[in-house]
């Protein structure tokens, strides 16, 4: 019933540790944020952007949703990206997928998940496009991880089509878009080498997506 209290207690322990290591940390942070990175990740509780990158509060601007999707009509996501690029002037945007992603696995199943289908259908479009390639992977766990990596490439590609990102590229070659993959079983983050920072690169990327 009162399990939520462990979070408040945890906060007190955490802030004590941070203050011990760096007494000025919170007073400096209160002056404002200037994160250099925007992270678009999955809502999965096992993939928190700050912790897995060894970062502290203030370093990463974050948007998370089920299966780290970049949907062009998602006004919430677009507002986060716009604010990050125009006001915070972040130079790097990272789309991060992960192993054993429940959203990816659900989208690959041939059954309905009710209301969630409305979101999962974005992933299903990508899945069906890559069905031949994915059916060659017989292990179900490896197949869903392969799909999660394809999904990251697709979402980087989607990001590369966003109007104001293209406008920024014309002005100065930033932000750079990256696609990463996080392996839950060993805690390792991997760069999928699908980085893009120009419309020309985006067009090339579409050949492999
Ligand atoms: Co996930």
- Please identify every residue whose CB atom is under 5 Å from ligand 1, which is an ion: 42, 44, 101, 103
> Distance between CA atoms of 166 and 203, rounded to whole angstroms?
12
Choosing from 46, 92, 130, 143, which is the catalytic residue? 46
Instruction: Give the residue-averaged pLDDT of 158-183.
Output: 96
DSSP 3-state of 20: helix
pLDDT in tens, 13-53: 999 999 999 999 999 999 999 999 999 999 999 999 999 99
Q: How far apart are CA 35 and CA 163, in angstroms?
A: 22
Residue 65 has pLDDT above 90, yes or no: yes
Q: Would residue 145 show up in a list of annotated catalytic residues for this protein?
A: no
C-alpha 46 to ligand 1 mean position (Å): 9
Cα(206)–Cα(158) distance, integer angstroms: 10
In 91-192, which ranges are E strands?
Answer: 92-98, 176-183, 188-191
What is the average per-residue pLDDT within 57-85? 98
The alpha carbon of 41 and the centre of ligand 1 are apart by a number of angstroms equal to 8
pTM confidence score: 0.95
Q: Which of 63, 96, 101, 153 is catalytic?
A: 101
Domain boundaries, given as residue ranges, for the chain? 1-32, 33-205
pLDDT attached to residue 206? 65
Q: Which of 63, 98, 122, 153 is catalytic?
A: 98
Count CB atoms within 10 A of the CB of residue 58: 14
Catalytic site includes residue 96: no
- How confident is the model at residue 208, as a pLDDT? 56
Does residue 101 have an active-site annotation?
yes
Average pLDDT value for the chain: 96
Q: How much is the average pLDDT of 190-194?
A: 97
DSSP code of residue 59: S
Task: Give yes or no for residue 107 having a pLDDT over 70.
Answer: yes
Query: What is the architecture of the domain spanning 33-205?
Result: 3-Layer(aba) Sandwich (3.40)
Is residue 98 part of the annotated active site? The answer reads: yes
pLDDT reading at 100 higher than 60: yes
């Amino acid at each position: 019933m009162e399990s939520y209290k462990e979070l408040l207690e945890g906060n007190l322990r955490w802030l004590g540790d941070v203050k011990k290591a760096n007494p000025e940390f919170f007073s400096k942070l209160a002056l404002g944020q200037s994160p250099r990175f925007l992270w678009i990740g999955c809502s999965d509780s096992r993939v928190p952007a700050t912790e897995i990158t060894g970062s502290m509060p203030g370093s990463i601007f974050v948007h998370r949703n089920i299966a780290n999707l970049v949907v062009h009509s998602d006004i919430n996501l677009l507002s986060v990206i716009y604010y990050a690029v125009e006001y915070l002037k972040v130079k790097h945007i990272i789309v991060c997928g992960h192993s054993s992603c429940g959203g990816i696995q659900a989208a690959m199943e041939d059954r309905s998940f009710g209301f969630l289908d409305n979101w999962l259908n974005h992933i299903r479009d990508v899945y069906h496009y890559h069905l031949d390639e994915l059916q060659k992977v017989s292990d179900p766990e490896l197949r869903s991880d392969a799909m999660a990596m394809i999904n990251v490439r697709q979402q980087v590609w989607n990001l590369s089509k966003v109007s104001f990102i293209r406008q920024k590229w014309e002005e100065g070659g930033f932000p750079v878009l990256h696609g990463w993959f996080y392996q839950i079983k060993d805690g390792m983050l991997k760069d999928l080498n699908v980085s893009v920072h120009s419309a020309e690169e985006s067009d090339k990327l579409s050949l492999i997506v």
